Amino acid sequence: MAPGISHRIYNQSINDLKMYIGRFAPSPTGPLHFGSLAAAVASYCDARKNNGQWLVRMEDLDRPRTVKGAADTILHQLEHFGFEWDGPVLYQSQRDSFYNEAFETLKAKQLIYPCTCTRKEIADSSTNMGIEGLIYPGTCLQQPIKPHAATAWRIKTDVAKISFKDAIQGEISQTLTTDIGDFILKRADGLFAYQLAVVADDAAQGITNIVRGADLLDSTPRQIYLQKQLNYLQPQYAHIPVACNSAGEKLSKQTHASPLDTSKTSMELIQALHFLGQTPPASLINENKNTIWQWAFSNWQLSKIPQSKTLKLISI
């Protein structure tokens, strides 16, 4: 847990809590912006509406992208907005040995293989385009790897279609071999990849319900595939629209999204609820955050969230 940050335990019995466990898992690459707040509000309200636990996990796996002090800033922002999480904050940067266990399990099942191909080599040799770019042609699966070269590890995706029903976006399916290809589980720099880490952490924390942004919708079939190979239970998924600016760009550090304004807590929370399709009364704008949360928990309806992958942010 970050220095100076205490977690709070939501007042429910263990019997109530065990049926639903949700989570909010930001990457500490900068302070939270409105898009992050919308995802946090959605996952938090859905957990509390279902008498569940709500966990916070810092996805600081990618050390080069992690900004010093950002994790503490995010936790302070969450506290300022009245979020109360259950249990200690989990930090992915401290869990390499745990991810290695999952990695070795897949290796023992002969599902992964080393790869020494560079991005340029893949671009020069690949002829098939997937949903995230060129499909890896399986070069290192078919011929010896280059000696003394930096080595990544990929998982074989020789599988049929992966399908699931998202609580917001509806029926989703991918054929991994043609849509994604053999994806990386351990990078050439030695860091474990997001897809493996998030699946291992969700299983370890007993996550039953994942409410997050639709920018991660295309990653979900890969995660379900890994869950199947590792004999993990599959959570229920709900992907909210990604908040976009007036130009249609995702709110992010790269698009210069403004940090949350902690002097306008009530306004920001109400705007997040409107963005999520909820209908808070106009009178709530003059209330404190505790009153807003009470209304949100009592009136939360996941079914009201727009079935859209992106949604422009409109000021109220």
Tokens 């190979």 — which residue?
A: 229
User: Can you tell me the distance from the alpha carbon of 198 to that of 219, in angstroms, rounded to the nearest whole number?
Assistant: 11
- Is 141 within 8 Å of 156 (Cβ atoms)? yes
pLDDT per 10-residue tile (average), the chain, 316 residues:
35 49 96 95 98 97 93 97 97 96 98 95 91 94 91 91 97 96 96 98 98 97 97 98 82 74 92 96 92 98 95 78
Q: Which two tokens stand for residue 226?
A: 């890994």
Identify the sign of the CA torsion 208, 212, 218, 219. negative
pTM score, two decimals? 0.92
pLDDT score at 16: 40
* Strand duo 21-24 + 53-58: pairing: parallel
Go through the domains of the chain in sequence order and give each one's CATH number: 14-93+207-216+231-312 (3.40.50.620), 97-194 (3.40.50.620)
pLDDT score at 5: 39
pLDDT score at 242: 95
User: Can you tell me the distance from the alpha carbon of 230 to that of 94, in angstroms, rounded to the nearest whole number?
Assistant: 21
